Amino acid sequence: MTDIFREVDEELRRDRLEKLWKRYGVLIVVAVVAVVAGTAGFIAWRNWQQSQAETQTQQLADALRLAGAPDGQGGTAGGNPEAAADALSAFAGQTGAGPGTLARFYEAGLRAREGNGEAAVSIYDQLAQSSGVAQVYRDLATVLSVMHQVQSGDPGQLRARLQPLTAETSPWRHSARELTALLAIRAGDRDTAAKLFAQLQGDASAPSGVRSRATELAALYAVEPQ
């Protein structure tokens, strides 16, 4: 008796499936094809992205090799910094904001290393003003731009650019405060310089290099008693 009920149940299921197929068969096929095509498209897109990333990484590595980047054994491979800077500039123009931004920072550093400070400052300023660059890197570009103008730029204007970056929330506050102190010295404002150096000297969160320099300069520019 149980077998009879099972056969009847199977026949009913088969009948339902046949009706569903007659009614929705084409739609089911289309849906399956869409899923397969979508999956294949995603895999192809992901593979293309990976290929692009590998290509871009290789291009960036080639440009840095021209600059004489470390060879992995503690030395450098000679290199041609000017050619590398040109290659990095071309690379940045062909890629997105992420790798392109990194290339521009490298390029600016090479320009400065080769004695072309104006070109380096121009690149840093472009990065600082670019809405396509993350704010943290825009702020870093501002710090680096000011750093290359400490001896030549207008102290008042440069201090104004650094002022927002001296806040406690800024990841670049220690460098910004150190540069602000140096600019204060140029402007003849020894009191401000001394206070900033003393602040950096006592800031446990400041990098050791910054604290070391601040300790020496705090003593040199200490406010003399009236």
DSSP state of 70: B
Q: List, for residues 95-120, the tens digit of each pLDDT value.
A: 766 778 888 888 888 888 888 999 99
Q: How many whole angstroms separate alpha carbon 213 and alpha carbon 200?
A: 9
At 186 the pLDDT is 92
Domain range list for the chain: 155-226
Q: How many whole angstroms separate alpha carbon 108 and alpha carbon 85?
A: 8
Q: Does an H or E element contain 196, and which?
A: helix 190-201
| Rounded average pLDDT per 10-residue block, the chain, 226 residues | 47 56 50 43 43 57 60 48 80 75 86 90 95 91 93 94 95 93 92 93 92 89 56
Q: What is the dihedral of CA 152, 153, 155, 156, to 10 degrees?
A: 160
List all residues 6 or more positions away from 66 whose beta carbon is below 8 Å from its beta carbon: 79, 80, 81, 83, 84, 87
Q: Given the structure tokens 């072309």, which residue do they identify?
A: 116
Residue among 91, 30, 96 at smallest CA distance from 64: 91
Q: What is the dihedral of CA 48, 51, 57, 60, to 10 degrees?
A: -80
Contact 211, 203 (CB under 8 A): yes
At 16 the pLDDT is 57
At 106 the pLDDT is 84
At 119 the pLDDT is 94
Contact 105, 88 (CB under 8 A): no
Max Cα-Cα span within the chain: 114
List all residues 6 or more positions away from 124 whose beta carbon is below 8 Å from its beta carbon: 108, 141, 142, 144, 145, 148
pTM for the predicted model, two decimal places: 0.67
Q: Which two tokens stand for residue 222?
A: 């200490």
Q: How many whole angstroms separate alpha carbon 209 and alpha carbon 164?
A: 22
At 66 the pLDDT is 62
At 4 the pLDDT is 43
In order, the DSSP letters of 115-157 are: T-HHHHHHHHHHHHT-TTS-HHHHHHHHHHHHHTTTTTS-HHH
At 59 the pLDDT is 61
At 70 the pLDDT is 47
